[in-house]
Amino acid sequence: MTTDNDRPGVVVRVPATSANLGPGFDSLGLALDLHDAVEATLLADAGVHVQVEGEGADELDLGEGHLIVRAMRVAFDRMGAVQPAGIRLRCLNRIPHARGLGSSSAAICAGILAARALAGTAGPRDAGATGPGELTDADVFALATELEGHPDNVAPCLAGGLTIAWSDHLGPAHMVKLKPHEDVRPVALIPGFRLSTEEARGLLPKDVPHSDAAANAGRAALLVAALTQTPEPGLLMAATEDRLHQDYRAPAMPRTADLVRRLRAAGLPAVVSGAGPTVLVFATRDTQDLIASEVGTEWLIQPMNVDTVGAGVLFPETR
């Protein structure tokens, strides 16, 4: 229930993302024009109230354990802001969960950005703190990476476009944003089944052959070039070859692995999106119509554009 003492809310909009993109394991990411929207309001009365429409509406934890709430709490602490007595979230979720489209990164980024925008209304800062509202964009990226565990999804979610992310040894994460060519048409093939990132990561070996690492380094560099110039299907096919993670994860998602193989055999540059099980195809104007002939009814074919803006706080409180 809203009272006269409740603070004005904000609305945060965050895009879906696809990480790895084939050879760019834990480094390359792409923002997609499929978005979640979160309205966050600080309440005078204690308690957390989370209302979810769309993906995640059946989640069991719609209180303090909700990922957006947890990210907000950490961000308030990091800024030295007093934790609000209560939080209300209204979430309109379109990003599928546990499908390899960055839903957890989107939630983390939404929570941090909402907390940053609301920090000045949360209350006086703790003694000796650097002060609420003083998270820079670099700080937001660093905190999101810390909470997510790796930067490849949070980078495109925050910045938009095509991103290259990396971390210094025991140091902060960094990213570079690039603009993909306008003729690159990402098409997500989204299955009805799910796969957790933790399960997919658990299948990766600790060591890989030097030849595989060298092959992926070359393909990742080629992919950056292929996505930022006029796309050529042949070049995209070569650039999306992977030896570091997709084959190792195939036992956990055999239908995804089979679809990737069939699409590539048809000359379509298909990759596993993030940890899967969604498949991402880099279509062009000439190849987009070929996808449907290789995909069965089990998969939702969702053509997308690249989100070039990234996450942002919207005013006023409207979606």
106 annotated to a ligand binding site: yes
Coil vs helix vs strand at 181: coil
Spatial separation of the C-alpha atoms in residues 246 and 252, rounded to whole Å: 10
C-beta atoms surrounding 49 within 10 Å: 16
96 annotated to a ligand binding site: yes
Coil vs helix vs strand at 243: coil
- Here the tokens at position 91 are 């979430």
124 annotated to a ligand binding site: no
213 annotated to a ligand binding site: no
104 annotated to a ligand binding site: yes
99 annotated to a ligand binding site: yes
- How far CA 5 is from CA of 42, 49, 82, 241, in Å, comes to 9, 17, 16, 56
For 212-245, letters b (16+ CB in 10 Å) and e give: eeebbeebbebbbebbeeebebebbbebbbbbbb
Q: Which of 226, 229, 260, 263 is nearest to 246 (CA)?
A: 260
10 Å CB burial of residue 263 (0-12, 13-18, 19+) is buried
128 annotated to a ligand binding site: no
Q: Binding site for ATP: what residues are annotated? A: 96-106
- Residues flagged as binding site: 96-106
